[in-house]
Chains A and B, each alone.
Chain A
Amino acid sequence: MLAGALLLIFLSPLVAQDLCKDSKDGFKVRLSIKTALGNDAYEWNESEMFLFRSTVAYAMRKQTKQDTYDITNILVCNDTQRVSFVFVVTSPDDPANMIPKAEVEKAVRLNKHRINSAFLLSDMTLEFVGIPPTLEAPITYETQPWLIVFGVVIGAVAIGIVALLMSTASKKRRAKENAAGLSEEDEGIVKENGTALSGLGGREGVFNQAFSNDDRFTQL
């Protein structure tokens, strides 16, 4: 009887390992702890594995709403230095039966953010190979922000143009009134073919070097 009990004790993990290794319903998991946390990285050991198995059990519980899932239902194998391994989930009612891949995938997808935060990792650094991460919904705006900025700018420019045109119009009106009232004084202003000199505003003129009394020409 003792031999039988001993056989059972040694056989069950072996059987469990076989279930895990041979299974097609398993998922490969990969953790990149050092990449994510750098100097604050924790050591991967048995306790961390224990935590992992309990989070997956928790995910299965939430998904199937059965409180019977336990940590013994989560089997792990192919542990490597990379910190990657394969896990399978067995049914709580029948430990020889495995939960199909699709069920496990659904459970993990729904609770990914809880599993991530348990390990201080993200979707990039805690990978379930074969389960794509659910991306965050894009931010939708009621009014596009660019339209708001556009509206402000075009409003300012429109005001600028209207102001300019109005000031031009009022200047012209004032000039017309002045011209009507002061037409006798026009003859006093010298208009020289509308060239640069009239733009000088009444100065004496511009010194033109070509006509200067340059000494080097007059000395003999």
Chain B
Amino acid sequence: MANSFSSSSSSSSLSMKFDFDEKPHVLAVDDNLIDRKVIERLFINSTCKVTTAENAKRALEYLGLADGQHPNHNDLKVNLIITDYSMPGMTGYELLKRIKESPTLKEIPVVVVSSENIPTRINQCMQGGAQEFLLKPLQLSDATKLRCHIEKLNNPLQGGVAREDERA
């Protein structure tokens, strides 16, 4: 089976709390090739490692959540999952639910993105446990903001006090 994931990373002198090997790892799920490339670059430029998947099924396989798989999460380190909503087969919402139902993966923040601003869709995703719902096209400021959030999740005691982030 052809590997439809791709991972890339680059070193950067702007890396803050993470060492090169500890850069936050983002899993980006989108069926649109151009969007995958742009999202990948957005997060690499925000000093993250990125793995892309072209649909929810591949994402679940990567996460070890596919049917018949035995999750082995010792090696898996994903700090953020960002998924398109409208995808053939399984939607981003359905992917979100599967992740949130997993005892081992439910803590990973999942951000849903969509080109369509539909309030019922947004509510559905937020009710389903999404960290955030963002409109496409994504911009560098979105990636930077999300990276800061991952940072806080990984270093909750930085600055002395653990704080809840405000929801958008």
Bound pair (A, B): no
Q: Residues of A at under 8 Å CB distance from B?
A: none
Q: Residues of B at under 8 Å CB distance from A?
A: none
